[in-house]
């Protein structure tokens, strides 16, 4: 059997040809330029994941997006929607060079798989998350900066919920024991594999209230290799699944989503006070709000205005009656 060139030897040969150091015979003209079945192949970026495996990964990561959309709203008291944007194969260096600085990077141990992955949350959603958890409206900063120690702890809590969603979405395939190894803001000092190693980059668009940002998952191919065949088998099984079974599965998913809890707030009004006055507040003090008794209340679902309502009573308890719809988006 003829010797097979290693990747390094292929790279050296290609470089030598491009510099003219190796003579190559002129190709015979056989009308190849007119053929449509010739495909370009880059030996420096070999595609190592089959189409079948990519379809399986897409199914798993879409399930992860659905889990995030269910798990995060009760914690953030805000509507959250996660959309899978793309799944790409590239080198680890290409991923690192594409990440903005500063950002929020979490190194994740993928046990029982061997190795680590990286999850990046862009500043455009990190700071709204922090602001929301600290009691604000979820406002983004005009200019990104590094997280403080307290903000890092908050994002660590959020990351644990993200990992729980990831574990749930993959539990039919593997029982993950995911942990956060380290958090970092500078991508250039995060090195989980060699720069030339191929990785799977999973990109999401995250909507939190009115804020929109990115979440990227970078998983080295060598980490996923042990389960890629199982992913292919699962995809083939899903294709063979009878329609009635798929309908039943879809119905069960819808039931879970419908049971998800969201906080509903009837806002009587708001007031802004300087810190000096807040410090002097005592029982019996009156705070004047920005609305009068004749103005309908704003009703918010997950922090987003949805209805207008008027106050009233039902039996022995306070109640509100909806009188108008503010938004159809919720």
Average pLDDT value over all residues in the chain: 82
Q: What is the pLDDT of residue 32?
A: 47
In the predicted structure, residue 102 carries a pLDDT above the cut 70: yes
Domains of the chain: 51-258 (3.40.1550.10), 264-325 (2.30.330.10)
Q: What is the pLDDT of residue 20?
A: 65
**128 or 136, higher pLDDT:** 128
Closest to 122 measured CA to CA, from 108, 104, 142, 141: 104
Q: What is the pLDDT of residue 2?
A: 52
Q: What is the pLDDT of residue 33?
A: 47
E strand residue ranges, the chain: 80-91, 104-109, 116-121, 179-184, 198-208, 211-220, 264-267, 297-301, 304-314, 317-325
Mean pLDDT of 198-223: 93
* Cβ contacts of 105 within 8 Å, gap of 6 or more: 99, 118, 119, 120, 183, 184, 185, 187, 190
Q: What is the pLDDT of residue 28?
A: 54
Q: What is the pLDDT of residue 231?
A: 80
- Per 3-state DSSP, what percentage of the chain is helix, strand, and coil (rounded to 5)? 40, 25, 40
Write out the DSSP string of 202-249: EEEEEEETTEEEEEEEEEEHHHHHHHHHHHHHHHHHHHHS-HHHHHHH
pTM, two decimal places: 0.62
In the predicted structure, residue 67 carries a pLDDT above the cut 50: yes
> 122: pLDDT confidence band, cut at 50, 70 and 90?
very high
Model confidence pLDDT, tens digit, residues 233-251: 765 554 544 556 556 666 6
> 52: pLDDT confidence band, cut at 50, 70 and 90?
confident
Most confident of 24-28, 61-65, 139-143, 236-240: 61-65
Structure tokens belonging to residue 184? 């970092």
Model confidence pLDDT, tens digit, residues 253-309: 676 666 667 778 888 888 888 888 888 889 988 888 888 777 788 888 877 788 888
């Amino acid at each position: 059997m003829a010797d097979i060139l290693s990747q390094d030897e292929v790279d050296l040969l290609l470089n030598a040809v491009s510099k003219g150091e190796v003579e190559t015979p002129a190709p015979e003209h056989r009308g190849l330029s007119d053929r449509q079945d010739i495909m370009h192949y880059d030996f420096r970026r070999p595609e190592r994941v089959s189409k079948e495996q990519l379809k399986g990964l897409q199914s798993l990561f879409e399930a992860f997006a659905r889990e995030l959309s269910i798990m995060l709203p009760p914690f953030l008291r805000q509507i959250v929607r996660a959309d899978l944007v793309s799944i790409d194969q590239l080198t680890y260096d290409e991923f690192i060079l594409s990440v903005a600085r500063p950002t929020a990077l979490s190194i994740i141990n993928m046990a029982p798989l061997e190795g680590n992955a990286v999850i990046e949350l862009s500043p455009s959603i990190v700071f709204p998350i922090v602001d929301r958890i600290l009691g604000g409206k979820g406002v983004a900063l005009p200019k990104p900066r590094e997280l403080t120690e307290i903000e890092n702890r908050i994002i660590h809590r959020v990351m644990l919920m993200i990992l729980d969603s990831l574990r749930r979405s993959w539990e039919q395939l593997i029982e993950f024991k995911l942990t956060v190894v380290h958090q970092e803001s500078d991508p250039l000092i995060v090195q989980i594999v060699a720069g030339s190693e191929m990785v799977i980059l999973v990109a999401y668009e995250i909507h939190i209230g009115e804020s929109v940002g990115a979440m990227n998952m970078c998983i080295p191919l060598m980490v996923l290799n042990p389960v890629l065949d199982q992913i292919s088998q699962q995809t083939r099984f899903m294709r063979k699944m009878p329609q009635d079974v798929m309908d039943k599965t879809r119905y069960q998913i819808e039931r879970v989503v419908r049971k998800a809890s969201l906080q509903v707030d009837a806002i009587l009004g708001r007031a802004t006070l300087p810190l000096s006055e807040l410090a002097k507040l005592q029982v019996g003090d009156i705070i004047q709000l920005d609305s009068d008794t004749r103005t309908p209340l704003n009703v918010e679902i997950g922090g987003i205005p949805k209805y207008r309502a008027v106050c009233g009573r039902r039996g022995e308890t306070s109640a509100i009656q909806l009188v108008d719809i503010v938004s159809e988006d919720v």
